[in-house]
């Protein structure tokens, strides 16, 4: 299925949330370019198939993009839509990131079983990342945190069946799916620093193609924030198993960046912040990463 001039094919993971996010990009393209035919090509990625182990045990974030990258390279699609937080920090030169969406709520949230108002301390909290697990130990020191994988609907089903006392999820996915009513508590970015790119959609393309049809889609503030966050994580090599975290807030022309560095040798972590100009997003990310690494290794 080659992409013709009047037909745009968007590659997407097949989960309900992924398709919805791809539809958001599709709808933008169609609105701006009524003459174009836009369709979504869904596929199951390795990360969607291997659910019995945590991501760091099976190869990290790249598992969510491998099949989509292949479809781009083969010409079956002309662009892919990803959650930026699922993107590896190293992106192939021939498959550049083209645009970031306006950011949805980037915070992590607590979701309780349907009809429940209090956490049951006898059951574990479910979460899918070491980043969250580390920070939850400070907030809920007396509770067990257990890994949970699968798409959002699968996780919510396991929660409602009584396997967990609560889940820690990204607000963005719940809000996009119209499940905001399930949120029991929002964690501030100081309580749980979000994953780099959380709440932002990334549009990835193929080198040498014309993407005029995306004009105006990229959000300037999301691009600056995402760039700072990814530069922080990239310098610390935290794309796969390492639970580093970074979150940038844009205030006018300024960036306020929070970061978390994890010392694998002793399991400790340090957090810190840095403020600077939006135009120096990448530099700020690297600078904070270097500062925290030094602090974390010389405690």
Q: Quote the radius of gyration of the chain (alpha carbons, Å).
A: 19
Helical packing angle, 281-297 and 220-235, nearest 10° = 30
| Residues acting as catalytic residues | 86
Angle, CA 208 vertex, CA 205 and CA 212 arms, to 5° = 65
Helix extents (H) in the chain: 16-32, 46-49, 55-58, 66-74, 130-139, 152-160, 171-176, 220-235, 281-297
Residues in contact with 184: Cβ distance below 8 Å, sequence separation at least 6, in sequence order = 109, 110, 111, 112, 117, 166
> By C-alpha distance, which of 270, 276, 274, 273 is closest to 293?
270
């Amino acid at each position: 299925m080659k992409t013709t001039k009047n037909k745009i094919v968007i590659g997407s993971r097949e989960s309900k949330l992924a398709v919805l996010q791809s539809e958001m990009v599709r709808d933008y393209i169609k609105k701006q370019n009524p003459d174009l035919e836009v369709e979504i090509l869904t596929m199951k990625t390795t990360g969607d198939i291997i659910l019995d182990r945590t991501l760091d045990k099976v190869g990290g974030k790249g598992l969510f993009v491998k099949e989509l990258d292949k479809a781009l390279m083969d010409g079956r699609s002309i662009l892919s839509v990803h959650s930026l937080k699922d993107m590896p920090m190293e992106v192939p030169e021939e498959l550049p990131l083209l645009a970031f969406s306006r950011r949805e709520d980037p915070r992590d949230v607590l979701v309780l079983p349907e009809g429940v108002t209090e956490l049951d301390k006898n059951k574990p909290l479910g979460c899918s990342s070491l980043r969250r697990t580390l920070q939850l130990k400070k907030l809920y020191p007396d509770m067990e945190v257990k890994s949970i994988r699968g798409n959002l609907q699968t996780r919510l089903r396991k929660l409602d069946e009584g396997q967990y006392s609560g889940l820690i999820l990204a607000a963005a996915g719940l809000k996009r799916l119209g499940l905001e009513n399930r949120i029991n508590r929002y964690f501030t970015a100081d309580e749980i620093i979000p994953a780099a790119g959380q709440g932002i959609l990334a549009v990835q393309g193929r080198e040498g193609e014309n993407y005029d049809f995306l004009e105006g889609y990229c959000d300037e503030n999301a691009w600056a924030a995402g760039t700072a966050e990814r530069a922080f994580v990239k310098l610390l090599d935290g794309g796969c198993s390492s639970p580093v975290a970074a979150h940038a807030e844009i205030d006018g022309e300024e960036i306020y960046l929070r970061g978390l560095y994890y010392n694998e040798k002793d399991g400790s972590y340090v957090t810190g912040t840095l403020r600077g100009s939006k135009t120096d997003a990448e530099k700020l990310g690297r600078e904070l990463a270097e500062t925290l690494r030094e602090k974390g290794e010389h405690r």
